[in-house]
Structure 1
Amino acid sequence: MAATWLSASEQTVLAEACAAFSDATQRFRAEARPQLTNRLAPTIHFSTSGKQFDMPVVVVPNAGSHTAAAVQNRHQGGRWQGTDRPLMLVTYYVSAKLAENLIAARIPFLDTAGNVYLDEPEATVMITGRDKPALRHSDTTSRSTTNKGLRVSFALATQPGLVDQPYRAIADMSGVALNTVNLAVDDLMARKLLVKKNGARVIADRRKFIRDWATLYPTGLRPKLGARRYASAMDISWWKTAPLKDFNALLGGECAAEALTHENKPVSVTLYAHGGATNALMKAGRLRPDENGDIEIVESFWPEHAEASWDAPAGIVPILLVYADMIASGDSRNHSVADILYDNFLDR
């Protein structure tokens, strides 16, 4: 069975539901893991009292009375194919009546208000009756979840103080048109990710902002970056002696995570490079195209001059992007390292 790819609006519902769970429970965390080509469904990674587990999900933005039966039909005998977990419904809002029906059918659910039913060996969580969110996020017209909108959010998250600068400055650091910034910021304000505080524009909840971007990046922006795979005639650590700066390249993915945490043994190299795989870079790494190669070169999606303002280690992309790369990998070992990155560097 092929993977179930999410639309932009479904990705947003998933991200907002995860943030609502964390807010409602206070001590537990939920992070969306976008579906990849080798998965049957997207998942939510739950962290509850020291225990971690993944739940496969189906996203139905407007769940109604018919939803319980429809989801139950997809359970394939009560468990989702390829896992020992039931399929979890993620939606904009679960009314008290719908919650009653879903619980009776033992169908786990989560909505953007923080209503949740989860009954697994690692944790049992049931919250119902929370009010419907006052402001419904718009659907596919969302400007902050497009690939250009995500470039704006990345700049805001990685450039200290940029969020309250004039739109022209934000456009300059994002590498997008002025009108794109206008639309994206308006949408971020509507979604309550940005707010006005004492007359200044600020990120309302940095943790939520980061989780939202990292959730949307793998399917909303990364596919637009022309990633290509290569094999090298040298050892996987060839990049350590290569003058990456001379090639306008920065380290991301597993190697960057290892440099930051020393908690993983990289099996692949990810480089973000302005201009992609130039002849000079290909020569330095003795690279040859190979769709199964362990070296991935991705086109940088930010202006080169923006790098001077980053709060990031030399030679490495911002930690937010390393974190998103590890989530996007689809490897459970990388997900554990992503949690370490989040706890040590991003949860502030």
Structure 2
Amino acid sequence: MKKEVEIQNQVMAQLPADWLANITLLPAGPYDAELTLEFGGFTRNFHVESKYIHRKETLDHYAKQCDTASTLLFCNPLSDFLRDYCQQQNINYIDAAGNARIVGDGVYVLLQGNAVPPRQPSVPGMSIGIMKCLFAFFADDELISQPYSKIADRAGISVGMVSKAMGYLTEHQFIPGGKKGRRLLDKTTLAYQWLIAYPTVLKPKLSTLVLEANQHWQKLATEPGDVWIGEVAASQLTDYLEAEQWLLFTQQPLQQKIRQYRSRPDPNGKLTVANAFWGEALTLNTFANALLSTAELLASQDGRNREVAEILNEQYLHLKQLP
């Protein structure tokens, strides 16, 4: 019930100032709450169901279980895709960003375009070197306790940059002080801030080539150190998305990939190859793969990709919300 109350509080805080609302919680009732809304000269009563929604299947399940005409869905901020889906399925809702659809007998309310209210703690900006070092820590949970030389090798940075990264983490209380017992104290906040920084700090510095696709990505041979990221990784990890754009990080020279795939540069191609920004000795675990893939999906500014990024977060990252 705690999560439901949290959503209800967030939604109630985002209601328009000229709406009068009275909500009664029903801890043991058939619904989470009862709501009376007064707006525009109308008074309407609704049953309330409070849920976290990250995919359309959750909305489908909700619609089958509830009378959507008399029930109002309180939920986390919805993506453009999910708001459109609510419209198509005649689901009335108010989300925690203040977006709403309330359509019924004599009432038509549609509030759209409200931004997600910030909830994550603010952390000073990360440099490229700090982002690379953090990514190595995300990829290998034991690496942070290793000598700086090994961290530098795995992260693809200098020993001096490792020292700066450790200073950053210590200063902002993400690792304990001292040389012994190093560990990340707030991995989820660091991952969230890493996602925020990725499209403006790290992604623009990647070396990439966009190539024509002569065959499907599943038929493209990969070499040791090659890692599918983005839509392809999302397809592999969730079995939910049919990848339309293919991103391969590689330790090999990009020109070698052109020869290997007998391809040529094409600005409209489906296949992008990028130089891995981490060291050759680092093997990405599932968390790091999901984190980098989520960053790429969010950077695409595509509603479909945003939806699958939410699924990756739900299954692998477990952040309270995505940027």
Is the 8 Å Cα contact of residues 163 and 202 (structure 1) preserved in structure 2?
yes
Q: Which of 217, 222, 226 in structure 1 is aligned with 2:203?
A: 222
SS at match of 2:154: helix
Partner of 1:123: none
Q: Are 1:152 and 2:133 counterparts? A: yes
Deviations 1:154-187 (A, max 9, x none): 0111112112223222212111111111111111
Partner of 2:113: 85
How do 1:241-320 residues align onto structure 2 when only pairs under 5 Å count?
Answer: 241-245=219-223, 248-279=225-256, 281-307=257-283, 310-312=284-286, 318-320=289-291
SS at match of 1:200: coil
SS at match of 1:245: coil
Q: Which of 281, 286, 294 in structure 2 is aligned with 1:323?
A: 294
Q: Which of 330, 334, 345 in structure 1 is aligned with 2:305?
A: 334
Is the 8 Å Cα contact of residues 255 and 266 (structure 1) preserved in structure 2?
yes
Is the 8 Å Cα contact of residues 170 and 181 (structure 1) preserved in structure 2?
yes
Equivalenced residues, count: 225
Letter in structure 1 aligned against 2:241: N
Deviations 1:247-297 (A, max 9, x none): x42211101110110111111100101134233x32443322111221111
SS at match of 1:251: strand
Partner of 1:201: 182
Q: Are 1:212 and 2:197 counterparts? A: no
Between the aligned partners of 1:112 and 1:257, the Cα distance in structure 2 is 25
Task: Give the Å deviation of 1:340.
Answer: 0.9
Between the aligned partners of 1:28 and 1:232, the Cα distance in structure 2 is 49
Structure 2 unaligned runs (5+)?
A: 11-52, 55-72, 81-110
Task: Give the Å deviation of 1:198.
Answer: 11
TM-score of the pair, normalised by structure 2: 0.60
**CA RMSD of superposed structures (Å):** 3.4
Partner of 1:102: none
Between the aligned partners of 2:254 and 2:274, the Cα distance in structure 1 is 8
Partner of 2:316: 345
Structure 1 unaligned runs (5+)?
A: 1-21, 30-45, 56-82, 89-108, 115-136
**Relative to 1, partners in 2 of residues 1:242 and 1:347: Cα closer, same or farther, differing over 3 Å?**
same
Partner of 1:52: 77
Letter in structure 2 aligned against 1:271: L
Between the aligned partners of 2:210 and 2:121, the Cα distance in structure 1 is 41
Letter in structure 1 aligned against 2:221: P
Between the aligned partners of 1:202 and 1:232, the Cα distance in structure 2 is 42
Between the aligned partners of 1:342 and 1:112, the Cα distance in structure 2 is 15
SS at match of 2:264: strand
Is the 8 Å Cα contact of residues 28 and 49 (structure 1) preserved in structure 2?
no
Is the 8 Å Cα contact of residues 120 and 189 (structure 2) preserved in structure 1?
no
Between the aligned partners of 2:7 and 2:174, the Cα distance in structure 1 is 18
Letter in structure 2 aligned against 1:216: A
Is the 8 Å Cα contact of residues 276 and 298 (structure 1) preserved in structure 2?
no
SS at match of 1:306: coil
Letter in structure 2 aligned against 1:205: D
What fraction of aligned residue pairs are identical, expressed as a percent?
24
Is the 8 Å Cα contact of residues 230 and 291 (structure 1) preserved in structure 2?
yes
